[in-house]
Amino acid sequence: MNADATQKIRLIMYLRQQGIHSTDVLSAIERTPRESFIPAMFHDQAYEDLALPIGRGQTISQPLVVAHMTQSLELDPMHKVLEIGTGCGYQAAILSKLCRRVYTIERHRPLFENANATLDSLRIRNITTLLGDGMQGWTAQAPFDRIIVTAAARQEAPFALTSQLKVGGFLVIPIGEAGDQWLYKYTKQPNGQCTRVKLFEVRFVPLLPDIAKDQEAQIQQDPLLEAVG
């Protein structure tokens, strides 16, 4: 057994200890090569529970956060899922093993292009990507059974996203300012309104509109923050 396989087994055991009880989620994480989504200089840390830089001031989220968010979605093999914040494509790859179709939006062109290349190299065919403003959702493909957002809204989930959620569907999103962010799970009710419950404290980069300008790459982000992907 090679070092990566040993580290991966250790990570799966750790996730179980931290409350990840879904065997489907654990299997998806085990079958997804995290090292393929991160720069080569960080490959030795691929299966540690760490957020790692992927460029443009963004990071790949730590495996425990990815696992908790994915488990919170309660995915079904027939679900159609929208992800806001493709990043390196890791979260989308996990989702792709648990649902019928993933639609994912990224606002940073270099990340969008790199994610496409990685997903193509892994021959993952049930993911469709878009370079665009994730805060607007993906109207042409709505409604969605599930929506996951990997950046923090300030006070509420964007209306464009809740309006694209199916009745009975879930939306998982971080909300709050830096230093006081919590993950929330929204449920779409038959009357069209959403109720929400607070899940756990998180640290994510802010949810921003529009396609990112090149100069955004110069903004220094807290390296400990979670982010897309």
- Please state, in angstroms and rounded to a whole number, the distance separating the CA atoms of residues 32 and 210: 30
- Please state, in angstroms and rounded to a whole number, the distance separating the CA atoms of residues 19 and 86: 25
Q: 45 exposed, middle or buried (CB, 10 Å; 0-12, 13-18, 19+)?
A: middle
Q: Which of 22, 27, 36, 61 is catalytic?
A: 61
CB 66 within 8 A of CB 90: yes
Specify whether 61 is catalytic: yes
End-to-end CA distance of the chain: 28
Q: What single-letter DSSP state applies at residue 88? A: T
Residues catalogued as catalytic: 61
